Amino acid sequence: MAYVISAPPQPTVPVEGEAGSFPVSRIWCVGRNFADHAREMGHDPDREPPFFFSKPNTAVVPGGGTIPFPVQTQDFHHEIELVVAIGKGGKNIPVEQALEHVYGYAVGLDMTRRDIQAVAKKMGRPWELSKGFDQSCPISAIKKVSEVGHPTKGLIQVTVNGKVQQTGDLNQMIWSVPESIAYLSTYVELLPGDLIMTGTPAGVSAVKPGDALHGTCEGVGEIKVTYSA
Ligand code: MN
């Protein structure tokens, strides 16, 4: 059947070593998955089951680059994260089988309008406009599992203008990648093309127009973003 308006473009992320690209479905994000970040945001990390929020697939900025500073924020934060690319969908996925659903991994930035999020938390409102806005997910090329395996440890960090701001190790995650997949799949049916951002270590800080971010995840890749002044 024909569409009544032009169909929106399918957001994609490049895959290293492949001519084709990865079509992005939904972007799921794990909240407070590093204890030190949960603490810096004023929470007790030991008492909470995982929780999730999402961004639209239009948020991806494949490969980063120079992008506009976002509107409607005076407190714009970086969150560097390992990103899981789901290749095979499913629901109620057992934790032992969860990794079979992974196509590959990337490193991305869960960019956050922290001031809007703070108001949302205070007022008991949704997080969408603090997390799911335009260009809020700069992301590296995906590396296939056949290239990178399933990373469970390794340095993850981001520098701003050359200064280290966030640093952590993938082995500090409260909920592992298979646990996050299994848990999330009890709430929604995961789809091929879904991305899961797995949470960020401590050190989140405010980004200003003109700032250059360089995120790295050991063995997975890097992402560079400059916010135009
Ligand atoms: Mn995050």
pLDDT higher than threshold 90 for residue 85? yes
What pLDDT is recorded for position 207? Answer: 98
Residue list, CB under 5 A from ion ligand 1:
79, 110, 200
For 128-140, the pLDDT digits (tens) are 999 999 999 999 9
C-alpha pair distances (Å), 83 with each of 3, 7, 150, 201, 221: 32, 27, 11, 14, 11
Mean pLDDT of 163-185: 97
Q: Where are the alpha helices (DSSP H) in 97-204?
A: 114-123, 128-131, 145-148, 177-184
Contacts of 201 (CB under 8 A, 6+ apart): 34, 36, 37, 80, 156, 157, 166, 167, 168, 169, 172
Of the chain, the percentage scoring pLDDT greater than 90 comes to: 92
What pLDDT is recorded for position 97? Answer: 98
Calculate how far, in angstroms, residue 147's C-alpha sits from the geometric centre of ligand 1.
25
Calculate how far, in angstroms, residue 2's C-alpha sits from the geometric centre of ligand 1.
38
Calculate how far, in angstroms, residue 49's C-alpha sits from the geometric centre of ligand 1.
16
C-alpha pair distances (Å), 192 with each of 195, 196, 203: 9, 11, 32
pLDDT higher than threshold 90 for residue 127? yes
What pLDDT is recorded for position 212? Answer: 98
Mean pLDDT of 51-78: 98
Q: Residue 47 — very low, low, confident or very high, per pLDDT cuts 50/70/90? A: low
What pLDDT is recorded for position 38? Answer: 84
pTM for this prediction: 0.97
Calculate how far, in angstroms, residue 197's C-alpha sits from the geometric centre of ligand 1.
7
